Amino acid sequence: MSGYPRWKIVMVGIVMLIAILLALPNLFGEDDALQLARDRAAVTAFDRTKVEEFLKGKGIAPSSVVLEQGRLTLGFSSKADQLKARDFIAEGLPNQFTSALTHASRVPGWMRSLGLSPVKLGLDLRGGVYLVYQVDVQGAVKQQLDRFEQDFRASLRNARVNYQDVVVDYPGNQVRVLFRDADSFAKGKAAIVADNRSVSFTDVTYNNLPALQVQLSPQQIKERQDYAVQQNITILRNRLNSPELAVSEPQVARQGVDRIAIQLPGLQNSAEVKKILGKTATLEFRMVDETNNPLEAVSGHVPLGSKLYYTREKQPVLLKREVVVTGDQLTDASFQPNTQDGPAVSVSLDSRGASKMLKNTQENIGHLMAVVFIERSREKNAEGLEVDRVNEEVINRATIRGVFSNQFQITGVNPIEGRELALLLRAGGLAAPLYAVEERAIGPGLGQDNIDKGVHAMVFGMLAAFIFMAVYYKLFGLIADVVLLANVILLVALLSIFGAALTLPGIAAVVLTVGMAVDANILIYERIREEVRNGVSPRAAITAGFERAFSAIFDSNVTAFISGFVLWLFGTGAVRGFAVVLVLGIATSMFTALMGSRALVQLIYGGTRKLERLSI
């Protein structure tokens, strides 16, 4: 007993002080808030002052104002003020901001500056938005067939082979390349097979012409459809987890064969999120037509081999129809806020794109190359029908100063636009179109009711355990009660650090964790009792109780940890929320039961020279 190291006691004390600091933000609660953002631009300090003065003139004073990552968050003391502020800004400052109803923590500024934040709450506790999208799996198959057509035409063009046509049969899931004679068929087949080694081809005759055919099998169609759903899930997760959207702990999971369910805790207005989710962004690199006048093309006289585009400033630009590199050949994109030429997006190409870019830059040094940003989204028209919108604009024109291939930078973007562009490019284009089939708002009132019931269950469960331990084990029982409370504080601190969302099943896991911690203390105390009954001195009984109960506690907690880890690895939604709290709770209960309890016993009994009996 006397040999228990003091450094361990100090370490336990330091860990608990840090845990209390990390858990402290949960005591401040939240306000209803309004988040303001600009489309493709950052909200500035000037905007903040303007909004505050505007609301002050309307008789509304925000309880908190935070400007972070180009977004302005205004907290209000009541729901009524939140809704009034939204309406006033929409009417008094039209088309200046995109607003979203959300929540803002009341955590003091000094805590926020240290990165401290309360535990995030799941959809079942906080309320939010539940979205269901349907994936156009047939559209995914069509995209695959269209890609075959483009690749086959490119192979034949590069090999300078004359051919009749490339026909896509969508109902039959076929692509046929028609040739004029046997000689062109042999050359064309060699060129196409060389560029598409993973594709199975069949020699056929179609309309008395030799042809090369690709036929998707039922298994290939199913694989393509499954890939489209899984790829869209990955893309949606990447977009939702980005700092641009500021959605806490979004849940994205497959639902049935072709649907994706999305849970957005704490979000009360899904307009901005839905705008990002449905977007498909890509880039095209084209050479600028420097020989013709774009102003003449505006009047309708577009030269052969060129195409008319516009910059974001609505200036006409003539670009050559031949695409140098497409967005499909991008492998990575990242935003670089500080470069010599201002904010930029760093782009990496695959080997095929790098080869094309290398060849193009070698042949066109001193000429202009443009970057075309293509954004596709699904919106409602004036009649309320959903239609596909395509926006194409030139975001950059630059003179090729040197030879480059797989890595380069795109300049001419502002910080907000650069982050969004990097996000959409990095996540990739949607593998298949998405259609919203369900949108349901879960009110915060229901979430508060769940919180109250869950907290009551946790409090009553812990209170019963506290009373039992104090009555049955006396002073050691009180020590156990302190340890159990420390266990909960540690668990809350870990949830805050890792940013894990607490759900209703997570509250159940907290109660279960408390029960497991009680069980660990009971094993230790019963072992101490047994040693005392066998005539061992109190000090030796305490040492033996902690040391000999360790193996039983460790074995039981390891098996529970493995179960929780498997649930976390393969579970989704509520199951995963339960598993996260369980795994973290096992770690905290092991620490508090074996080290925290021992440290308290040492502090109480360690200074007693002659220890004759234990209050156990």
DSSP 466-492: HHHHHHHHHHHHHHHHHHHHHHHHHHH
Give the residue-averaged pLDDT of 445-449: 59
Give the residue-averaged pLDDT of 588-611: 82
Give the residue-averaged pLDDT of 35-50: 80
- Other beta carbons less than 10 A from residue 416's beta carbon: 21
Of residues 455 and 397, more confidently modeled: 397
- Residues facing 165 on adjacent strands: 178
Give the residue-averaged pLDDT of 581-591: 89
Residues 6+ apart with CB under 8 A from 589: 487, 513, 516, 517, 520, 557
- Other beta carbons less than 10 A from residue 476's beta carbon: 25
- Other beta carbons less than 10 A from residue 363's beta carbon: 11
Instruction: Assess whether pLDDT exceeds 50 at residue 1.
Output: no
Q: Which two tokens stand for residue 27?
A: 């005591």
Q: What is the pLDDT of residue 216?
A: 86
Of residues 16 and 2, more confidently modeled: 16
Of residues 21 and 347, more confidently modeled: 21
Give the residue from 472, 480, 478 showing the smallest Cα distance to 529. 472
Instruction: Assess whether pLDDT exceeds 90 at residue 318.
Output: yes
513 — pLDDT class (breaks 50, 70, 90): confident
Residues 6+ apart with CB under 8 A from 579: 509, 564, 565, 567, 568, 571
Give the residue-averaged pLDDT of 300-328: 85
Give the residue-averaged pLDDT of 552-570: 86
Residues 6+ apart with CB under 8 A from 134: 258, 259, 260, 434, 435, 436, 437
Distance (Å, whole) CA 319 – CA 338: 29
14 — pLDDT class (breaks 50, 70, 90): very high
Give the residue-averaged pLDDT of 492-519: 84
Instruction: State the greatest distance between any 2 C-alpha atoms of the chain, in Å, as a whole number.
Output: 108
Lowest mean pLDDT among 3-7, 167-171, 238-242, 445-449: 445-449
Q: What is the rounded average pLDDT for all residues in the chain?
A: 81
441 — pLDDT class (breaks 50, 70, 90): low
pLDDT, tens digit (0-9, with 9 covering 90-100), for 375-416: 766 666 666 666 667 778 887 787 887 787 778 777 766 676
Q: What is the pLDDT of residue 490?
A: 92
Q: What is the pLDDT of residue 18?
A: 93
pLDDT over 90, % of the chain: 4
Q: What is the pLDDT of residue 19?
A: 92
Q: What is the pLDDT of residue 17?
A: 93
Cα–Cα–Cα angle for 101, 105, 108, rounded to 5 degrees: 140
Cα dihedral angle (159, 164, 166, 172), rounded to 10 degrees? -140
Residues 6+ apart with CB under 8 A from 549: 520, 523, 524, 526, 527
CB half-sphere exposure, 422, CA atoms < 13 A = 24
- Domain spanning 279-429: CATH 3.40.50.150: no
Give the residue-averaged pLDDT of 425-441: 70
319 — pLDDT class (breaks 50, 70, 90): very high
Q: Order of strands, edge to edge, in the sheet holding 30-37?
A: 64-68, 71-76, 30-37, 98-105
425 — pLDDT class (breaks 50, 70, 90): low
Question: Are 372 and 442 within 8 A, CB to CB?
Answer: no
Q: What is the pLDDT of residue 386?
A: 62
Cα dihedral angle (480, 485, 486, 488), rounded to 10 degrees? 130
Ranges of each domain in the chain = 6-24+443-605, 29-106, 137-221, 279-429
Give the residue-averaged pLDDT of 35-49: 79
- Other beta carbons less than 10 A from residue 219's beta carbon: 8
Q: Domain 6-24+443-605 falls in which CATH fold?
A: Multidrug efflux transporter AcrB transmembrane fold (1.20.1640)
Distance (Å, whole) CA 189 – CA 176: 12
Q: Which two tokens stand for residue 252?
A: 């994205």
Question: Are 128 and 264 within 8 A, CB to CB?
Answer: yes
pLDDT, tens digit (0-9, with 9 covering 90-100), for 223-253: 888 888 887 888 788 777 665 555 656 778 8
Distance of CA 611 to the CA centre of its chain: 57
Lowest mean pLDDT among 6-10, 42-46, 62-66, 275-279: 275-279
Q: Which two tokens stand for residue 367?
A: 């000429």
- Residues facing 209 on adjacent strands: 206
Distance (Å, whole) CA 137 – CA 400: 41
pLDDT, tens digit (0-9, with 9 covering 90-100), for 288-304: 999 888 888 888 888 88
- Domain spanning 137-221: CATH 3.30.1360: yes
- Domain spanning 29-106: CATH 3.30.70.260: yes
Distance (Å, whole) CA 229 – CA 235: 10
Lowest mean pLDDT among 41-50, 260-269, 305-314, 559-568: 260-269
- Strands 316-326 and 251-255, how do they pair? unpaired
137-221 shares its CATH topology with 279-429? yes
Measured CA to CA in angstroms, residue 172 lies from 69, 175, 193, 213 at distances of 50, 9, 22, 12
* Type of residue numbered 228: A
Question: Are 394 and 371 within 8 A, CB to CB?
Answer: yes
Distance (Å, whole) CA 151 – CA 602: 75
pLDDT, tens digit (0-9, with 9 covering 90-100), for 202-231: 888 888 889 888 888 888 888 888 888 887
- Residues facing 399 on adjacent strands: 368
SS3 220: helix
